[in-house]
Amino acid sequence: MAQALRITLGQHSRAGRKALNQDFHGAAVPTGTLLRTKGIAIAIADGIGSSAVSQIASAAAVRGFLDDYYDTSEAWTVRRAAQRVLEATNAWLHAQTKRSDARFDPDRGYVCTFSALILKGREAHLLHVGDTRVYRLHPQALEQLTDDHRLHTSSAETYLARALGVGPSIEIDYRHWPLEPGEVYLLASDGAYEHVQATDVHQALAAHADDFDAAASALIDTALARGSQDNLTVQLVRIDSLPEPDARHLPVQREGLALPPPLQPRMRFEGYTIVRELHASARSHVHLAVDDASGQQLVLKTPAADLREQPALLDRFLLEEWVARRLDSANVLKPCATERPRQHLVVAMEYVDGQTLAQWMTDHPRPSLDSVRRIVAQIAQGLQAFHRKEMLHQDLRPENVMIDTTGTVKIIDFGSVHVAGLAEGSSEPRPEALVGTLQYTAPEYFLGQGGTAASDLFALAVLSYQMLSGQLPYGLHVTRVRSERDASRLHYTPLREHRPELPAWLDAVLRRALQPQPHKRQEALSEFIHDLHEPASHYLPTRAPALIERNPVIFWKTLSALLAAAVIALLLLRLYGH
């Protein structure tokens, strides 16, 4: 059986010498898919003594985080998911203060400090605001992993500079690092950590090796014995095991699913009747089919037989459906919902009655700018659906775009999609892997750099250029880039060399989107689309273009006519001038 992330956890909290405990703590240790996609979360919050309602803030922060974090998209990274939850919690706490008697004095409002440790795959992620602390235990010391957000006004006075609920927005510290088996982490409020040392933690763990709750309680006893006057909370976490470094931590499992047999027309398969084959490649086979129960036409995608000995590719095959189910866009192919259990590796997707963009380009060799803009805008909307979920498509090409009979454009084929949330702490291919079609792949991939949304923008700009001209902006030279120098020597062929009737500013817009350096491209897909429709002033020529730029054919014809007239005039002058 594959090794999984396992921990030993202990927790304890007391009011100490105070009447009310304003600390709060908790942990969530899921199993199965949630363990792989979201990990284990441990959280601690500490209220402020000047507030009579701070304990409500602490409880709301911890409970809300542990509930809402697991409801965020599995495609999101830990950082994005956790920060979104904490931003919402902060806004709620601040709103509660504004509706209370403490609206003019935040020190009496719904305010607390907060720290969370999230363990996912083989990595730890830390979210922190305030002065609760997270430590890593060493043989002779406690390594503090958090910064205290306190303002020192004098050697004797400090004030809390940052906490949840103080303002309408919040800055949250984030860091992450690789985990190691056997590591021990300590989360504590100031009433505890100000009075314990590394030797105390080691002694407590040695005395209560099989009961980390008792070890946490013993540390609180130690802090109280040394004079702690505050609430005390301690959480202890030991990393018992980690997934294998090469393990695939995907949210879909193919155990028990057989490779499908070759599909033929009229064949009954998994509750569908096969109509005909639509496409076949070395990676997959695509068939038009009819759902026997509903009569709905749909597409069945099955892996090619050659993938039988490639388990990583078979896992990614099922991941395509998982990706599709998490996207909501009219411009992205949708999966077909079914409650029937599957016996084979097969994915059912909606059927698009139309043509690929590749066929459209064949049928429209010199399309109008407006028709291209309509298609590009819809592709961009589909890509934005991926990017909102922290996904990169990575294989945008004419064959992966469909246009139906109503003119709706849909992105299809998710076999190369990179999901940031699944890549954390796992062997999910990194976004710099060359997984797409080379002539549409951004230069940064060839340089081993990380792919970003700007990489999908580059591919979209290549498609835009190709639709208008039938050519590629750099030919095949991008596929030969191996160094920064190679990238800097890429020569963009002006679009107007192929279509001189198109406006000059269009070249400027496309040239920017096709910059070899990602940071020089438009900052977002929406900016690129806006530029295509309403170019900014810096794209427009500062002078009227010369005739040779506007229409080189007319220029050369006119020049030839003038030269011919001059030659005739000279001949006439020579004949009759004497």
- What are the pLDDT tens digits along the chain (578 aa)? 467 899 999 999 999 999 999 999 999 999 988 998 999 999 999 999 888 999 999 999 999 999 999 999 999 999 999 999 999 999 999 999 999 887 777 778 999 999 999 999 999 999 999 999 999 999 999 999 999 998 877 666 778 889 999 999 999 999 999 999 999 999 999 999 999 999 999 999 999 999 999 999 999 999 999 999 999 999 999 999 999 876 555 676 677 788 899 999 999 999 999 999 998 888 889 999 999 999 999 999 999 888 777 877 787 788 888 999 999 999 999 998 777 888 999 999 999 999 999 999 999 999 999 999 999 999 999 999 999 999 999 999 999 999 999 999 999 989 889 999 888 765 444 554 567 788 999 999 999 888 999 999 999 999 999 999 999 999 889 888 889 898 888 999 999 999 999 999 999 999 999 999 999 999 999 999 999 999 888 888 765 566 666 667 677 788 888 888 888 878 777 777 65
Which pLDDT score is estimated for 536? Answer: 85
Q: How far is Cα 172 from Cα 153, in angstroms, rounded to an integer?
A: 23
Which pLDDT score is estimated for 551? Answer: 66
User: Closest Cα to residue 118, out of 249, 7, 248, 241?
Assistant: 7
Query: 168: buried, middle or exposed (CB in 10 Å: 19+, 13-18, 0-12)?
Result: exposed
Residue 532, phi-psi category: left (phi > 0), alpha (psi -120 to 50), beta (remainder)? alpha
Number of Cβ within a 10 Å radius of residue 150: 15
Number of Cβ within a 10 Å radius of residue 151: 11
Which two tokens mark 400?
């992966």
Which pLDDT score is estimated for 380? Answer: 98
CA distances from 342 to 145, 183, 260, 261, 307 (A): 47, 41, 11, 14, 19
Q: How far is Cα 109 from Cα 103, in angstroms, rounded to an integer?
A: 7
The Cα angle at residue 513 between residues 510 and 516, in degrees rounded to 5: 115
- Contact yes or no for 469/499 (Cβ under 8 A): yes
User: Closest Cα to residue 475, out of 489, 461, 487, 491?
Assistant: 491
- Does the reported pTM lie above 0.75? yes
Which two tokens mark 58?
């602490």
Report how far apart the first and last C-alpha atoms of the chain are (Å, whole number): 108
Q: How far is Cα 384 from Cα 363, in angstroms, rounded to an integer?
A: 28
CA distances from 36 to 1, 252, 392 (A): 15, 10, 20
Q: Which residue has the tokens 């709905």?
A: 296
- Contact yes or no for 47/22 (Cβ under 8 A): yes
Q: How far is Cα 130 from Cα 510, in angstroms, rounded to an integer?
A: 47
Which pLDDT score is estimated for 308? Answer: 76
- Residue 468 makes CB contacts below 8 A (sequence gap 6+) with 367, 369, 372, 495, 498, 499, 502, 506
